[in-house]
Structure formats: structure tokens, C-alpha cells
Amino acid sequence: MEKFDIIVIGTGSGSNVAKRCAIAGKKTAIIDYQPYGGTCALRGCDPKKVLVGLAHVLALNKQLQGKGIATSATSSWKDLMQFKKSFTEPKIPKTEAGLKEAGVATYHGRAKFISENTIQVNENILQAEKFVIANGAKPRELNIPGEDLLIDSTAFLELEELPKDILFVGGGYIAFEFAHIVSQFGAKATILHRGERPLKNFDAGLVRLLVKASEESGIQIKLNTEVKSITKENNRFIVHAMQEGKEVDFSTSLAVHAAGRTADIEDMGLEKMNISFDKKGIAVNEYMQSVSNSNIYSCGDANDKGLPLTPVGGKEAVVLASNLLKGNHSKIDYGHIPSNVFTIPALGAVGLTEQEAKNKNLNYTVHFKETTDWYSSRRLNEPVSAFKVLVDNNTDQIIGAHLLGPNAEEIINIFTLAMNAGVKANDMKKTIFSYPTNASDIVYMV
């Protein structure tokens, strides 16, 4: 049995914690049952954005046919996968080497608590004074027959060949992003969503515009459609669903789980350490410390605190490490956090939606406009673009910004900075931005 000061579980945001602790002189170990590097770098946002980048090029090629582009671009999914691997594959040994260089002991395997302050990894029994749980999230269980026939987002990002048709179970950002990617490569994409509207955390009006544009691009989106089971017949998957009280079947070459994720903590023996948790994650306080066990800390998608976004996990890791080393003194302050759906075009949001502002009985003004005829969209022959900005009438502060269109995923960061810095809408209106850019449109949005 080996004893440590600190054991970290998870090599995404957890790597930052482990290195900081080891460099500070703490005997530190890190554990991961998946390749070292974390979800974002290996199985999530980074490789996905590589795919989105090429899909965007293909979309632009189609949009600008007859406007200077004379021929259709040819694409290769196989070459794209090789390009993607040039980002992901070097990350694994680089992460492990960086940890070892910092003095962190590395273990590969599923970690499970077996008694107070004791954890098992394969045949190794380890003890520590403090533990950091940062092993991310996994696809949530659907509890339907044939669920095992679905592939998850990790497997999707490793597809060597792209089927002619793909069905996505769920109507969140994963389904929409993947559907937009494969449709640009000629695959028929279908999204099944059990609710009345998809992308429920984003502005309803802009989502409607995105849904319409998605359907016009060839993506089938079936709402109020709940998947009940999945079977396989020959080489086809049959997805059995209920749509507005009627049984419907969908036949597809490949079915993908895109119906949400939960903290990957259920089989870790957390009850052995009196760790309070639910499906969202480990319950932590503003110091990133477990509310039920002071020897446990958690950051990233494994806790129940912040949004399941990589920058959030990164910020939590810094706060957590400082509190581990110096005692609880640094509280997490998330501020306003932007989020994006990397569709084509992208959908970005920060702050309150119109419905949320209405529920709070705030005194605000809504600035909304479809902007497909604006120069910044017309020059790319963009099929859809719009914005909705909410301004508090009492303070002139921006309380919500929602963007759909070219570079929305970048421009939303400017709104985020303004909201966190307390910049008033009138001051943004007076700002001279570089022109012609998408940022220069901001003065007409506020």
C-alpha cells in the first residue's frame, strides 16, 4: 500500500490540480481509466471543432456557388479523421509526460473507494489525506431496450468511415453539432427529440430559426418523439419511438446517443467516504470542497456546481488547487459564462434568456432582428442570422445576449466581457469597432 498526500482522479482539469500540488511539494498521484488528457482534448470539444472547421469550409463552398465559386469541393472523411488524430494522439503521451515531470505518480484504471481514505486501482491499494474527483461525465442511461446498440460521442469521433445515414437520439448541442457536420459530408442526418423544442437552454426564437435552417439544409428534426427501444435487423438499426401518441419506426445505418450526460461517479464507492452526490455530480461548496466530507474536493463535470464546460472546469481547478494547498480561502466566482452550439452557423448565448428575464419580472428592453440581409451575412450568402439582446432599463446593463450567424461563437465573448466588466449598453453603442467585421455590428444590437 502506497500513501500520498493527494490523489486526483481524472486527467482533464484534474491534471492541472495534480501538477500544482506536486510542484508545491505534496506527494501526489493521479488516476484515469481512459487515455490521459481528458474529455475536451481527446473526446470532446477540441476534436469536434476540427470537424466543424472543415464542415464550415464545405458549407461556405456550397453557399458561394455561382458567386465566385464555380465547382463543388470534394471531401474525404478518412483524411479528416487523420487530421483530427494529429491533435488528439500526441496529447495522450504529452499529458502523461508532463505529469511525471512534475513529480506526479500516474496510475491507469478505474478508481474505487474501498474504505476511509483508501482507494483501489486494479491491484494497487492507495491511501491519501485528500482526494480530488475530476473524472468528468458520461452519457446518461436511457433505460430502454437495445440501448447498447447506440454509439456514444466518443465512438462517433473515431468513425473511420461515415455511413450514408445517421440518427441522433436527443436534441441538445451534441446532436445538432454532429448532424451539421455529417450533413456537409453528404450523410443524411435525423434528430429525434422527445420535447417540444430542442436546445432548451438557448433562446427559443433563435432556436426556431436554427431548426428551420437545419431542415432546409437537409437535416430531419423530429420533435415530441420519444425513443422507446432499439433493435437491429440485418445491417440496419430500427429505432422505435412514440410521436404524439403514435408508434413510429426509424431505420438507420448508425444510431448515436446524444441525449445528455451525467457525472461519471456512480460506481466509485463514494458511500465509503460519505460523499454526498446526485446525477449532476458531487455536491460541493464555493471552495470546490465536498459538503459532506472535508477531505474531498471536486472540479469539472464531476461536481454539481458550475456549467459542464471546459473553461469552467479549468477555473474550478485553479481555485480548488489553491484551497487544497493553502486551506479554504479562495471562492469560485463564475461571473457570466458564454456557451455555444457549433452548428453552421453557430449559436451563442450569455446571460438571461427572454423567458428567464420575464420570470424575474425585470424591467428590460429586447433588441431583436433577423440579419440575413446585413452585409456581414450577405457577403457569405449566409442562409440565416439573427440576434436578441436584453438590456435592463434601470441600469442600462446588458443582461442577456443571443447570437445566430457568422462568428457568433466569437462575438458572444465580447458581450460576455462587457457584462462581466459592467460596461453599459450605451457605451458599447458609442464604441468604434474595426470595420467591416461582425463585431462592428454590435453597435446596432444594443
| Mean pLDDT, range 50-71, rounded to an integer | 96
Cis preceding linkage at 90, omega within 30: no
Topology adopted by domain 345-444: Enolase-like; domain 1 (3.30.390)
2-139+262-326 matches 147-259 in fold: yes
205 pLDDT exceeds 90? yes
| Average of per-residue pLDDT values in the chain | 96
Determine the pLDDT at residue 426.
97
Q: Cα–Cα distances in Å, from 85 out to 78, 88, 92, 152, 219? A: 11, 5, 11, 18, 27
**Distance (Å, whole) CA 303 – CA 252:** 36
How many CB atoms sit inside 10 A of residue 176's CB?
A: 30
Determine the pLDDT at residue 306.
84
Determine the pLDDT at residue 343.
97
| Mean pLDDT, range 198-218, rounded to an integer | 96
59 pLDDT exceeds 90? yes
| Mean pLDDT, range 146-152, rounded to an integer | 97
| Mean pLDDT, range 109-123, rounded to an integer | 96
Give ∠ CA 327-331-337 in degrees, rounded to 5: 145
307 pLDDT exceeds 90? no
| Mean pLDDT, range 331-337, rounded to an integer | 95
**pLDDT tens-digit readout, 161-173:** 999 999 999 999 9
Percent of the chain with pLDDT over 90: 97
The residue ranges of every structural domain in the chain are 2-139+262-326, 147-259, 345-444
Determine the pLDDT at residue 1.
87
**pLDDT tens-digit readout, 16-30:** 999 999 999 999 999
Q: Are 58 and 184 in contact (CB under 8 A)?
A: yes
**pLDDT tens-digit readout, 256-268:** 999 999 999 999 9
- Partner residues linked to 386 by β-bridges: 370, 404
**pLDDT tens-digit readout, 432-444:** 999 999 999 999 9
**pLDDT tens-digit readout, 408-426:** 999 999 999 999 999 999 9
CATH of span 2-139+262-326: 3.50.50.60
Please report which confidence band the pLDDT of residue 48 belongs to, taking 50, 70 and 90 as the band edges.
very high
CATH of span 147-259: 3.50.50.60
- Residues with Cβ within 8 Å of 440's Cβ and at least 6 positions away in sequence, in order, are 376, 433, 434
Q: Cα–Cα distances in Å, from 208 out to 128, 178, 204? A: 51, 18, 6
- Partner residues linked to 370 by β-bridges: 386
Indicate the pairing of strand 346-351 with strand 398-405.
Answer: antiparallel
**pLDDT tens-digit readout, 268-287:** 999 999 999 998 999 999 99
Show the cell assigned to 70: 464555380
**pLDDT tens-digit readout, 375-395:** 999 999 999 999 999 999 999
